[in-house]
Structure 1
């Protein structure tokens, strides 16, 4: 059966690049979007792209299970729009709620082997499975961000769901949460570094990560088994190589 990936957040700045990367590698891709017009023309009319017109949280459990049923992987590039409404409006737990519902749908449509869930996260979120220590001043700043900017807490809770509820030995789902630092635009894939934990402070010494590099790495996790075996169950941090 043809390998297929469901991508949510496909019209976002990184999501559309991930879709392009997967299609260029011969993958069949499904996207859930509210408007197909927001997809680039070259993507929108690709023969291997299936477009599901819907708001992801408006799908019923049975509809979501149907859409993930024949997919070997699910990828989320969801984020909050950088506007007052996007940051403080509802749903405040968009990434977390979609992550939970997609995982539940994957478990409701079991396969013979575990399927992949790849989440785009942030270097500002610690992997609490590891001893990722930060300074007192950074703890204070992140605590303030957590209280005042709901999207940060949303990213934390989405990753925590994968860590604590799916865990390392789920029979149906394997996962990875990709943590870029400050996101920038770039015209093409460049050299990048991968680390188990941040090598610099996301608050006081932030690195840069191009969106196209994030998309490239997420696509590799989905399509390359060696890459997946190296990073599954982890929260790899990705930086552009300086």
Structure 2
């Protein structure tokens, strides 16, 4: 498949690119520094640039969106982001969805966050406090992003990981469509793997999928 990954140099985006390439997909990567990625067509640019996104979406079979703000959450809350718009998730996703509708591209996989939208009721209390105090503007934008996706009319999958870590691969993550999770952390490597799964698995269409670490599986060499 021809797959465009938007937000391709963040942790989850980079992991998704690696996994998609390993599965034989033809990957185009869009981010501010995507040209540094090996083995793909990397395009440096902004996900809110409608003309650029329109050009890149045309001819794709699927799009993966992993937008976010990579700066310190404390800095962002106190002073705002320095290099990324606060509404990058919703505005970038809206730009992608509009281009997909124009070009008849149906399959879209978007990473949001566990505890937003359909999984709000399952969020543990400590995470609820973090969302309310530290991450409020970013969570509000993620809520808008998810709502845009679910109302898009496309063949969407919403992927909602719990707290992300940089731990190494520890086997396939636990996934559910009922909001249940196993643990409150998951590695970006595991999320990237599942983003590629969601591109390929048509049975997930129209579902919001929670992703958590699950039981660790030893990796043998």
Task: Say yes or no: TM over 0.5.
Answer: yes
Q: Is the 2:35–2:43 contact (alpha carbons within 8 Å) kept by the matching residues of 1?
A: no
Q: Which runs of 5+ in 1 are unaligned?
A: none
Deviation at residue 116 of structure 1 after TM alignment: 1.0
Q: Secondary structure at the match of 1:179?
A: strand
2:172 aligns with 191
Q: Deviations over 1:111-145 (max 9, x none)?
A: 5xxx21111111121317xxx64589679737724
Q: Secondary structure at the match of 1:78?
A: coil
Aligned length: 210
Do residues 118 (structure 1) and 109 (structure 2) align?
A: yes
Matched residues in 1 for 2:126 and 2:63: separation? 33
The 3 A distance-change label for structure 1 pair 197 and 126 is farther
Do residues 91 (structure 1) and 89 (structure 2) align?
A: no
Matched residues in 2 for 1:217 and 1:136: separation? 23
Deviation at residue 98 of structure 1 after TM alignment: 0.7
1:5-16 matches, within 5 Å, as 5-16=3-14
Q: Which runs of 5+ in 2 are unaligned?
A: 216-221
Matched residues in 2 for 1:77 and 1:116: separation? 15
Q: Secondary structure at the match of 2:11?
A: coil
The 3 A distance-change label for structure 1 pair 25 and 107 is same
Matched residues in 1 for 2:24 and 2:125: separation? 47
1:70 aligns with 59
Q: Secondary structure at the match of 2:113?
A: coil
Q: Is the 2:57–2:63 contact (alpha carbons within 8 Å) kept by the matching residues of 1?
A: yes
